[in-house]
Structure 1
Amino acid sequence: MNSPLGAGLPDAGRPTLLRHAPYTWQPYIQLARLDRPIGWWLLLLPCWWASLLASVVRHSPPNLWHLALFLIGAVAMRGVGTTYNDFIDRDIDAKVERTRNRPLASSRVSPQAAIGFLAALILVGLAVLVCFNRFTLLLAPASLVIVAIYPLMKRITFWPQAVLGLAFAFGALVGWAAEMGSLAWPPVLLYLGGICWTIGYDTIYALQDIEDDLVAGVKSTALRFGAHVREGVGAFYVLAFGFIGAALFAAGAAHGFGLLGWLCLGAHFIWQIARLEPADGNLALRLFRSNRDAGLIFAAGLAAQAILQITSSAG
């Protein structure tokens, strides 16, 4: 049996997973946003960028084991963030058309059950984390502090997207630390680029909710930029492109496929800005989701460069 509410969230993609999942699982799939993989993709990509950049620097092949661990960790930690966010925002979500059918807002999951589910997801994330070196084990939990304060920011500042960026881009530090056992300028610059990227794409996402946010008293950069939202998103995409490029140059990796991937990432940013129509919520959602492809383009460039270096050395 399928839940009519489970398939009805306006911002969900094709509800294939929900259609085939047992009825009792559906609210938890929605809590963890497993029906909307774009969230964990955007959390995962900075991890992959940093890990692959480290491979380019070390002239080593991509660490497939670590890349797989980051995938599992991103899915779990995305679930941690969304479950916690929905728990904190359950009263606000009930007032917003796009979110009123979320499991906690619609009372399909109790607060107590959500807390138990949250604990289970944290354990999965911890199981992944202990597979890495000690430095990474000490570094990664700092992101949970950012995750904890993020839902509160939309109540007090027009810049919650900046706090979200601090959390979503944190993988740039973790991915490098997992390979190198330390930090350096390249991952820091990559982190700054990821923060700016997140502010840009989440501002686009927030365009869907402007009217409801005004009613609910929720703040966002989409509201802050107002009629200048295209310029605002464009400015942060320029900063993201600049910081990510600086990371490549600082790592001595601004060549070959890595450089090509970076230029293609910039071209994707330009395409998004050219297409953006602030009044078109459906288009905003499509552009937001397209950032998975933008991030994968850059990751593919770094992976190709790492592999090319190995094959060239072997030849």
Structure 2
Amino acid sequence: MNNIIKKLNDFNELVMFKHSIFSLPFIFIAMVVSSGQVNGSAWFGMKLFVLGIFAALTARNFAMGFNRYMDRDIDALNPRTINRPNVDGRISASQMLVFTLANALGFIFVAYFINDLALQLSIPILIIIGSYSYFKRFSYLAHIILGISLALAPIAGVVAVSETIPFWSIALSIGVMFWVAGFDLLYSLQDIDVDKELGLHSIPSKFGAEKTMKISKIFHMLTIAFWLLFAITSGSSYFAYLAVIISALMLSYEHYLVNKDFRKIDRAFFTVNGYLGIIFLILIIIDNIFV
């Protein structure tokens, strides 16, 4: 029993289950808004609630598992990642492959029970979110690919409820793309020297820290612009606009932390962005229930 618990803890460390907080709120934001428009109620039902959670978790586990498998040679040369389970032997390459395949099949299985369009999109989605692992080996646009991977969450959410992809969901997703790419740029500043040494492609290694921080700010300004467009085109009300305003303030605080002290990158990355998604979701729920 102890060995099973230890192995589960190792897989938890491998894919960092708690970081699902970045994608889960936005799949449910799209589901709440879509349900309000289609069903006249923010509640989309227990079935879709459970399937939405499993879809988000299996997709993310697939992406993280595949990334850790592909990056095990790179992680072994990076002092920041050398103690990860994919490097130190706690999880073997074959175990990572089984884990990755199981989650890919799980995602397709869940999509089958959602609707036909979800099933048709399931494999293309897996291809897109899996491609991130390759991009940093030949393109500094890998940050954008990571952003696109998480931006698929709102699209998946609205497809689950309505089997359509309305314009507001695209605006919401593009905002998520720039949000994720922007904070990934800040997080990547930690590896700027290692990326240069190993010949990996990233915006920090190509343009330097100062320009990277400026690009991150631009990305986050675009985030707010597209989330504002989402609020306008979805017919949302006061609380949705409040969510956009609070997001702008939180992203400003994130940049303040990193500008003040690079050692605050973890706090900016995990804490600020984690709360941002939760607050956004809560306000969208309120907006669709009480307004």
TM-score (norm 2): 0.91
**Greater helix content:** 2
Equivalent residue number for residue 153 of structure 1: 135
Structure 2 counterpart of 1:288, one-letter code: F
> Could you tell me which of 128, 136, 143 is aligned with 2:110?
128
Report whether the alignment pairs 1:176 with 2:158: yes
Report whether the alignment pairs 1:50 with 2:30: yes
Structure 2 counterpart of 1:286, one-letter code: R
| CA offset digits 1:271-292 (Å, max 9, x no partner) | 2122223861x31111011211
> Could you tell me which of 70, 86, 98 is aligned with 1:104?
86
Report whether the alignment pairs 1:283 with 2:264: yes
The separation in 2 between residues aligned to 1:208 and 1:42, in whole angstroms, is 20
Q: Which moved more, 1:219-228 or 1:283-292?
A: 219-228
Change (3 A) 1:270 1:133: same
| CA offset digits 1:19-68 (Å, max 9, x no partner) | xx72333332223323xx12x11122321221122234343123253344
The 3-state SS of whatever aligns with 1:131 is helix
> Could you tell me which of 85, 92, 100 is aligned with 2:74?
92
Instruction: Return the offset for 1:2.
Output: 8.7
Report whether the alignment pairs 1:32 with 2:15: yes
The separation in 1 between residues aligned to 2:213 and 2:135, in whole angstroms, is 23
Structure 1 counterpart of 2:245, one-letter code: L
Q: Which runs of 5+ in 2 are unaligned?
A: none
Structure 2 counterpart of 1:44, one-letter code: L
**Aligned residues of 1:56 and 1:302 also touching (Cα < 8 A):** no
**Aligned residues of 2:69 and 2:86 also touching (Cα < 8 A):** yes
The separation in 1 between residues aligned to 2:144 and 2:27, in whole angstroms, is 18
Equivalent residue number for residue 236 of structure 1: 219
Instruction: Return the offset for 1:121.
Output: 1.9
**Aligned residues of 1:51 and 1:178 also touching (Cα < 8 A):** yes
Structure 1 counterpart of 2:35, one-letter code: S
Change (3 A) 1:288 1:44: same
Change (3 A) 1:221 1:71: farther
The separation in 2 between residues aligned to 1:278 and 1:151, in whole angstroms, is 31
Q: How does 1:202-281 map to 2 (within 5 A)?
A: 202-226=184-208, 227-253=210-236, 255-277=237-259, 280=262
RMSD over aligned CA atoms reads 2.1
Instruction: Return the offset for 1:233.
Output: 1.1
Q: Which runs of 5+ in 1 are unaligned?
A: 4-20, 310-315
- Give the ranges of 4+ consecutive aligned residues of structure 1 lying more than 4 Å apart after TM superposition: none
The separation in 1 between residues aligned to 2:230 and 2:26, in whole angstroms, is 12
**Aligned residues of 1:31 and 1:79 also touching (Cα < 8 A):** no
The separation in 2 between residues aligned to 1:109 and 1:261, in whole angstroms, is 40
Instruction: Return the offset for 1:162.
Output: 0.3
| CA offset digits 1:66-113 (Å, max 9, x no partner) | 344322322222211111111111111100011112222223222222
Equivalent residue number for residue 312 of structure 1: none
The separation in 2 between residues aligned to 1:140 and 1:275, in whole angstroms, is 38
Equivalent residue number for residue 16 of structure 1: none
Instruction: Return the offset for 1:225.
Output: 4.2
Equivalent residue number for residue 293 of structure 1: 275
The separation in 2 between residues aligned to 1:169 and 1:188, in whole angstroms, is 9
The 3-state SS of whatever aligns with 1:22 is helix
Q: Which moved more, 1:200-209 or 1:52-61?
A: 52-61
Instruction: Return the offset for 1:246.
Output: 0.7
The 3-state SS of whatever aligns with 1:104 is helix
